[in-house]
Amino acid sequence: MPKKKPSQDKQQDVKEQGALGFSESYWRENYHNLDDMDGIYNARDHALYLRAVFALDQIQIRSVADFGFGPGHLFAAVLDTFKPYKCLGLEPSISAFTRAQQLLKRSGSTLLHTDLLSWCRDESQQKRFDLGLCTSVLQYLNDEELAQVLPILAQRLKYLYLTVPTSHEQQRFIDEYDFIDNYAYSRSREQYLAMLSPYFTIVSGRILESKQHFNEKNSDFTENLYRF
């Protein structure tokens, strides 16, 4: 999510659908200055943070998927850092997809122009990944979409790197930057935790562990104190 954004039109009652891709005007208005956008100016810091957290517990990350890679900076930094043998990225917005193709072409990643729910519904997607990235994307899925997506992600991933703005943060964007995201749903921290907790355990800042694959007894993460 950008740190700073210019003001937009008043929030609509009917949400625009992120799964169909954001409009060209969204990208033009909100992504013209990449220098202060989280996941872009600090993409390498995100990747180094992930490397350090997994290295501390000697957890190998050999495959990575990004669900909504946008302009692709964070995904590229993570691929560059972990050098996975298998990688997949998906992105429904055609302009972001096209832009990121350039950045990601050296990585050898499979790139799909599709949305998260479509990928989850596609039963031919049999591959499993050690690490999934989903940064500032889940706010664009409605409750029904999230209810379908989360159990599949827990099956297909061991770990999920998740950032998502809660209603509290979205209010701060409005107050401080006059920014209203017409595509985003507003959910409280408690609502997100209730949706995530059947499928994932929080094991570190932004890092979730799949309950399909791990529990308290077989987890590779030490420090039981930080399991939520």
Ligand X SMILES: C[S@@+](CC[C@H](N)C(=O)[O-])C[C@H]1O[C@@H](n2cnc3c(N)ncnc32)[C@H](O)[C@@H]1O
Enumerate binding residues for ligand X (CB under 6 A): 1, 18-19, 21-22, 39, 67-70, 74, 91-93, 96, 115-116, 135-137, 140-141
The SS3 of residue 19 is helix
Nearest approach, Cβ of 75 to ligand X (angstroms)?
A: 7
Nearest approach, Cβ of 137 to ligand X (angstroms)?
A: 4
Q: Which is nearer to ligand X, 53 or 162 (CB)?
A: 162
Q: Which is nearer to ligand X, 1 or 196 (CB)?
A: 1
Neighbours of 76 (CB within 10 A): 23
C-alpha angle 178-206-18 in degrees, rounded to nearest 5: 50
Q: Which is nearer to ligand X, 91 or 209 (CB)?
A: 91
Nearest approach, Cβ of 155 to ligand X (angstroms)?
A: 17
Q: Which is nearer to ligand X, 23 or 191 (CB)?
A: 23
Nearest approach, Cβ of 51 to ligand X (angstroms)?
A: 17
The SS3 of residue 112 is strand
What are the distances in angstroms from CA 10 to CA 7, 125, 182? 9, 39, 8
Q: Which is nearer to ligand X, 84 or 132 (CB)?
A: 132
Angle between helices 143-156 and 189-196 (to 10 degrees): 50
Q: Could you report how far apart the first and last alpha carbons of the chain are, in Å?
A: 24
Ordered DSSP codes for 118-167: HHHH-TT----EEEEEEES-GGGS-HHHHHHHHHHHHHHEEEEEEE---H
Place of tokens 């050999």: 62
Nearest approach, Cβ of 30 to ligand X (angstroms)?
A: 8
Q: Which is nearer to ligand X, 67 or 214 (CB)?
A: 67
Neighbours of 105 (CB within 10 A): 11
Nearest approach, Cβ of 58 to ligand X (angstroms)?
A: 27
